[in-house]
Amino acid sequence: MSFLFGGRSNKTFKPKKNIPEGSHQHELMKHAAATLGSGNLRLAVMLPDGEDLNEWVAVNTVDFFNQINMLYGTITEFCTESSCPVMSAGPRYEYLWADGNLIKKPIKCSAPKYIDYLMTWVQDQLDDETLFPSKIGVAFPRSFQNSAKVILKRLFRVYAHIYHQHFGQVIQLEEEAHLNTSFKHFIFFVQEFDLVDKRELAPLQELIDKLTGNR
């Protein structure tokens, strides 16, 4: 897959996932954006009164996919087969790819290949109406929370790779405030609803403690 680069602003890695206008989830997304604007991230991640937890998790998962997509899109030119031959988050953590469908046995691959696999895999699930229903009245499957947990666990790995391998470039691009805010929002969200196992967060635990004030 080749990506076209023009100005930095249009370096999107994957097409943005849009929530249909007029849907309840679109209203929830607007609510999330408004509370985020207050600057209080702990408050922004809380389930709004009377809302369905699955819908709230779905809307935020789509939002994190879009955010990570955009953040990774700014550094794709630095994340290459030669610069990042393995998908890692520092020397102690390496990730192998498997989707349980096309690739059943975990394979070793470069970071750009892994992230391409990962984002395509997430995108396919977000587009699946049986898993992420966007129409009012269509119930979420029983397996939804487990599916969302796997998606968020894997999206975390993109943050971890960016922080460990590309933070210098993020600083050069003056994107660090954007990255830190996005990651802090992600961490508060997954902690609020216990969506990612603490062991999975280990590659960035020091940063998480710093950002969340647990020092």
Please enumerate, by residue number, every residue annotated as part of a binding site for Zn(2+): 79, 84, 161, 166
**Would you list the DSSP string of 97-118?**
B--SSS--S-B---HHHHHHHH
- Token pair, residue 111, equals 């970071």
DSSP letter, residue 94: B
Q: Give residue 154's identity as a one-letter amino acid code.
A: R
Q: How far apart are CA 194 and CA 213, in angstroms?
A: 18
Q: Evaluate whether 185 touches 140 at the Cβ level (below 8 Å).
A: no
* Phi, psi at 57, each rounded to 5°: -65, -40
- Token pair, residue 179, equals 């990255």
Task: Please enumerate, by residue number, every residue annotated as part of a binding site.
Answer: 79, 84, 161, 166
